[in-house]
Amino acid sequence: MITVNALSEVAALMGDPARAAMLQLLMDGRAHTASELALNSGITAQTASGHLSRMVEANLLAARAQGRNRFYRLASGEVAHAIESLMALAGKRAEPASKTAAWRRDPDLRFCRTCYDHLAGQVGIAVTDSLTQHGHLEPKGPRDWKLTGTGELFCQRLGVDLAGARKAGTRHFARQCLDWSERRPHISGALGAAIADTFFKKGWAERLRRGRTVRLTDSGRRALSRDFGASV
């Protein structure tokens, strides 16, 4: 059972402005060095090191040494899910500072972005809506999706690696993740990651060099219309 102290400790870790900035950057699904995270958060490398160590100890982040650098990434999809949900709640605030926050007013970020390793924003919701409307995906309890028999066939025709998604160990297969800009759940988990990977491999979507923004290509727009019956 989760204790009150454990809950408050994790909340405090995520609530610090510098650490929140680091977590927000890591929502792009990439691994970043301590110096990159420090620069993004506006703090010194020494201060960043202390913050990162605490988040690794709390299982919010995972660290890997490579050469002279130490790379950090979110420890799991569950961490990303928690951050996206908090961003959705933060978006409901009416304070002027929240209205001018760059991550809320960026139209490209709202249109299509990565949420850890899956698609979010208008494109992510369009994909999810299409799968549910065509009976390929159904709600399974309050937090998960169920891929139906027709959904299996659809994903196979699309080239989604379902076998790989099911080998993801203890990770949730198809999770409902509350989209902070659309205020509705998109598909995450191993299946969401596999669908996003299909978009990237087929050239339907492209990651930008920095940040979470994803560019939907012309072929991606055609695929949304042709294969999903959706437009954005």
In a domain, 136, yes or no: yes
**What average pLDDT is seen over the chain?**
89
Q: Are residues 64 and 106 in the same domain?
A: no
Q: What is the pLDDT of residues 103-113, one digit of tens each?
A: 566 899 899 99
Q: Are residues 149 and 61 in the same domain?
A: no
Q: Are residues 49 and 127 in the same domain?
A: no
In a domain, 115, yes or no: yes
Using a pLDDT cut of 90, give the percent of the chain over it: 63
Question: Taking residues 209-218, what's their average pLDDT?
Answer: 89
pLDDT for residue 100:
45
Closest CA to 48 of 40, 82, 66, 212: 40
pLDDT for residue 134:
97
pLDDT for residue 103:
54
Closest CA to 173 of 191, 156, 159: 191
Nearest-Å Rg of the Cα atoms of the chain is: 18
Most confident of 10-19, 25-34, 72-81, 140-149: 140-149
Whether the predicted pLDDT of 93 surpasses 70: no
Confidence of residue 78 (pLDDT cuts 50, 70, 90): confident
Q: Are residues 107 and 218 in the same domain?
A: yes
Q: Are residues 213 and 122 in the same domain?
A: yes
Whether the predicted pLDDT of 57 surpasses 60: yes
Question: Taking residues 93-97, what's their average pLDDT?
Answer: 50
Q: Are residues 34 and 126 in the same domain?
A: no
Specify the pairing of strand 175-178 against strand 185-188: antiparallel
Q: Are residues 25 and 128 in the same domain?
A: no
Whether the predicted pLDDT of 11 surpasses 80: yes
Least confident of 5-14, 55-64, 89-98, 99-108: 89-98
In a domain, 116, yes or no: yes
The CATH number of residue 13's host domain is 1.10.10.10
- How many domains, the chain? 2
Q: Are residues 175 and 133 in the same domain?
A: yes
Q: Are residues 47 and 111 in the same domain?
A: no
Q: The domain containing residue 135 runs over which residues?
A: 102-228
Identify the domain boundary among 56, 75, 94.
Answer: 75
In a domain, 114, yes or no: yes
Closest CA to 82 of 19, 153, 23, 142: 23
pLDDT for residue 170:
67
Confidence of residue 1 (pLDDT cuts 50, 70, 90): low
Q: Are residues 147 and 222 in the same domain?
A: yes
Q: What is the pLDDT of residues 151-201, one digit of tens each?
A: 999 999 999 999 999 987 667 899 999 998 898 999 999 999 999 999 999
The CA distance from 65 to 75, in Å, is 15
Closest CA to 79 of 101, 47, 49, 56: 56
In a domain, 89, yes or no: no
Least confident of 99-103, 145-149, 219-223: 99-103
The CA–CA distances, whole Å, from 135 to 79, 115, 149, 152 equal 29, 24, 9, 11
In a domain, 90, yes or no: no
Confidence of residue 77 (pLDDT cuts 50, 70, 90): confident
In a domain, 181, yes or no: yes
Q: Are residues 116 and 213 in the same domain?
A: yes
Using a pLDDT cut of 70, give the percent of the chain over it: 91
Confidence of residue 92 (pLDDT cuts 50, 70, 90): low
